[in-house]
Structure 1
């Protein structure tokens, strides 16, 4: 029994050893045989290479979750030259369905396959799924015809699309088209490997939206492209914008630009308590779905978003800051008397009122109500250059606000000791001439008056959504240029001045504070004779400000005055804004609070 087991053990062992030796010598024979090179070439078709996979770009939403920027599936079309047998049909089909040039496609797909050349040739990218469905239907029809004819026509090449490949890819999509496009910016997706965001949120938060690329092993065989591993998408952003308020602001701005003949316009709506930008309507606007038309929409224009990228002399809206500084420094009170003679000498240069007239006895409310340049220049001299420019610095004039949008600009102002500063600058700067700011700087500075002296950081990012978690962007105080008492006093002064002049900015049922602005436009040889910038800034309700609105119309033609063209624009914006924000009239709201 033991002897039989011993022989079986040696038999099995010997048999396995023989098989192993056979396999070993056969592998050597294969590697040394003339066919070895053929096998190696076949194996090379299934090699892999390292490729960087870019995540799906994060979405952008408004504050209520409405999609403003996302991604849609499109396709890349190419051919694997190893399998192409009918280049004519491929070229004709792509010319008919996709619109590609027949000769170009034919030349690309009719090349014989050479192992030393790329096997995959890209023909087109970002093709809509509808066209892919047409190609798929044609391919299936040709395959059916080939199968039906195979039994009758042997060794005959039937029309086919063999070798034609389409693989999915993403492109950036903006479902609201031009809505908020100056804030959103655009993603230049056609550049593929070097694609990035330009302007607005797409530029400012490009890295967050793009996510983290991953390097992976990918098969050379294009038919295995669906085996590429997925990577986590980039972060999504929730903005402070309200889609409905944005759409309303753009619609009303466009209407008033047309009716006034203005060259361009800006409307910014902000919550003064948080610095959240609810709307930023700007012209011109680009449809980011067609971002390559940028030069057509912005011919010779350097700023994609004029609300943050264009400085201008704001004119009399600047008087809000001058009066705020004077009240806060204690050099004037609302009842401080002033005799307006129609002219004041500052640095030996006469400064006159906008109408060249003299308004006689006034107090500070009257000075703001009638927008008297002479009075505000006098107020600035009472402050003196040191205090005046210190306050402007504290208000952020001449500095970037840090708004989270790509392309913000700023223009520093001159102070005593600078080359080009003269004493008269103190007088002209007091009413917004000879000094430049962007609309975002102006609304940020003046929002301190609407927010009890606290200046909030303007921002459009409300929250980041990443890995299933939401991270909120909290409001930030960036300065307290004036006291709460000064802010309340000036707010009531400006509300009273609007009411006493029966301003076109008044809104039925809601008490608002505000100031008009009309500024001459500097040119190469001095100020232009027949062109102005018309502005208005206002906020409300006065007892509990929930919004501040800044309006700028560039070079209106029907009237040069902010009180005529900018104030009615503010009024119409606010009339719609209180509805969209669900703000009851003052009497209703105060009655409810008193219960």
Structure 2
């Protein structure tokens, strides 16, 4: 076979193969249409149409007074199906719509927006995103009135795709306690711990897959609407929370400390009114709420001398010591086996009574007493942990509660020095929440309450679940022991290591704590400082603990670092509390009202008061330049002076009628509760305090 014949043969073979392949294509098409058409049509529907989850609106988180701590705000992304509107509607409205889009977004010209819409309409695209920038609800309402958009989804093709964002009105206030949760449902705080309540039930809706991989919602009768989440109501008080964070931050900045925590709790119930956690930022500049040291594992540390309250409880319960017994501390150094215990005071305290030993926080005295009475049976000492409920976690409502740690006698980690060191707050771990619970129980006459921060789950105005105060131990010690422990705690403030915070207005009871920090197996000169206690000492309403880690500077002890923060917070909370301080802002006594021949109006609008006094013929002297005034009587003359209301602080509404007080306070974004009738006699938040929108202020009328 010559070359020519060979080439012709090959061409004929290739031609035949191509002809066979070409014939197979229509055959395969016909076979698919007839034999497998239903199968592939069904598959196409599942690819191009899907029922997808639609997230529910997340529930709100509220403070105990109704202030909003976290909510979901609706935002919208503007998309469009440009094929939906009729030709006449597009023709009449496209120019004005394009102008409005350009003027609002300021990113493209009107011609560009017009071309985008018209090109998509020409290409029969069923979905385009006009701009990825999200808009608020008010702007969405305005856009709904624009040409073409006013025809809605079916008539104009506009799609306002809802995107919800979590918003905290008080910004960083209690931010770590409020917490967060991400798309993988990992987070912290209330948002994470109560996610099952907050997230609601997801719905489902039919979506169509479009070119480019985007999905467009399609209305369908089988759509399932999502069920919004429930609201979580906390025990927090935003005013107390603000006071606690402000006082803590000031001391952290002054002492250049690593972190600090404050917990303030109501004695009788265990309700947490404030919980603050501030940690130095990684940059070293400023502080933020990055971790909940008050309850978490990282907050579990050697408590130091605040634990001496427990040691005294065990000693007094054994009836082997009295507060006036003497104990010899010598020069402030005492050997337990192979280690030396030292007091903070150089040269020691010499001979002390048990009362003085606690007030001065003598390590040597407390350790000697515990070793003498429990050295032969340390398990008996540690058995009081079960009696007080301090040995196990409380089952706190927020995820991440740290577990207390105490060595067990007879194990490999137990040494001859363990008992004396545990007795003064070393070789053990407690978080601030557990320490506070012990002090709260003493303030509560021995009854230990379970600390809690969530008091209700609600849907609208309907309470779905309520969390009531819970008793952990009816009594952690005998009445006699509790009374003696109260004496000791008051003595610390009156004569001991916290005498710098003694208060003439009300008494504070508490105990300082200073623990050397253990780093790489060695105790350092960095300290974990604390102060735990309650106030007022004679009628306890609030307990509180303040901890500050690694403060810098001279005298970095609990009494110097944490006690002043405790006092500042206590002073301001006491001033706020109308139950503790009912006469704080009383305007005028009944006797003064009876003796005065002048009208008892004490405040109001200057123009209205002037008119009333003129009608009554009462002489007056005015220094008025503001709209609102305060009045006071001098002999037979009514004087008045400005009472400015336009400042960014809590106004003074004392003396005003309820109508005027409501007008002023509600215009400042405050919620108002009131009791009684008549004019405002006192207000729960003092005038001049920092204004926190959505806070609740209580008025007493009379």
Q: Give the TM-score range, shorter chain.
A: 0.7 to 0.9
Q: Which residue of 2 aligns with 1:403?
A: 396
- Does residue 569 of structure 2 align to residue 561 of structure 1? no
The structure 2 residue matched to 1:513, chosen from 492, 509, 514, is 509
How far did residue 545 of structure 1 move? 1.2
- 1:327 matched residue in structure 2: 316
The residue that corresponds to 1:58 in the other structure is: 59
- Structure 1 residues 95 and 306: CA distance shift in structure 2, 3 A: farther
Corresponding position of 1:179? 173
Tell me if structure 1 keeps the 8 A contact 2:241–2:275: yes
Structure 2: how far apart are the matches of 1:413 and 1:432? 10
**2:449 paired residue number:** 456
Q: Following the alignment from structure 1 to structure 2, what is the Cα–Cα distance between the partners of residues 585 and 487?
A: 26
TM-score scaled by length of structure 2: 0.64
Q: CA deviation at 1:547?
A: 0.7
1:146-545 alignment, distance < 5 Å = 165-188=159-182, 191=183, 194=184, 196=185, 198-215=187-204, 222=216, 230-284=225-279, 304-309=291-296, 310-341=299-330, 342-381=332-371, 382-384=373-375, 385-466=378-459, 468-470=461-463, 471-479=465-473, 480-501=475-496, 503-529=499-525, 531-545=526-540
Q: Tell me: CA distance 1:133–1:397, structure 2 relative to 1, closer, same or farther (3 Å).
A: same
Conserved 8 A contact 2:149-2:157:
no
The Cα shift of 1:134 comes to 8.0
CA offsets per residue over residues 2-39 of structure 1, 9 Å max, x none?
A: xxxxxxxxxxxxxxxxxxxxxxxxxxxxxx9xxxx9xx
Alignment partner of 2:301: what SS? coil
SS at match of 1:280: strand
Deviates further, 49-58 or 452-461:
49-58
SS in 1 for 2:358: helix
What SS does the corresponding residue of 1:320 show, helix, strand or coil?
A: helix
Could you tell me whether the CA contact under 8 Å between 2:51 and 2:205 is conserved in 1? yes
SS in 1 for 2:307: helix
How far apart, CA to CA, are the structure 1 residues paired with 2:456 and 2:309? 33
Aligned counterparts of 2:549 and 2:514: Cα–Cα separation in 1: 10
Distance across 2 between alignment mates of 1:235 and 1:83: 38
1:128 corresponds to: 136
Q: For residue 499 of structure 1, report the CA deviation from its aligned partner.
A: 0.9
CA contact (8 A) 2:529 2:557 kept: yes
- The residue that corresponds to 1:21 in the other structure is none
Q: Deviations over 1:461-512 (max 9, x none)?
A: 1222136422431111112432333222101122123212471222222122
Q: Which structure would you say has the larger RCO, counting Cα contacts within 8 Å and 6 or more residues apart?
A: 1
> Shift of residue 313 of structure 1?
1.8
* 1:543, distance to aligned residue in structure 2 (A): 2.7
Summarize deviations over 1:165-221 as a string: whole Å, max 9, x none: 322332221111111112110243xx3xx5x46211111111011123344567889
* Preserved CA contact (<8 Å) 1:510 1:586: no
Question: 5+ unaligned residues in a row in structure 1: which ranges?
Answer: 1-31, 145-161, 287-294, 589-595
2: distance between equivalents of 1:496 and 1:587? 28
Structure 2 residue runs without a partner (length 5+): 1-32, 210-214, 585-702
Instruction: Sort the Cα spacing of 1:330 and 1:108 in 2 relative to 1 into closer, same or farther, 3 A.
Output: farther
Shift of 1:239: 0.7
Larger helix percent = 1
> Quick check: 2:278–2:287 contact (8 Å CA) kept in 1?
no
Give the Cα–Cα distance (whole angstroms) in 1 for the partners of residues 313 and 545 of structure 2: 18
Alignment partner of 1:536: what SS? strand
Residue 578 of structure 2: aligned partner: 582
Alpha-carbon distance change, 389 to 109 in structure 1, aligned in 2, over 3 angstroms: farther
Query: 1:97·1:131 contact (CA, 8 Å) conserved in 2?
Result: no
Alignment TM-score, normalising by the size of structure 1: 0.75
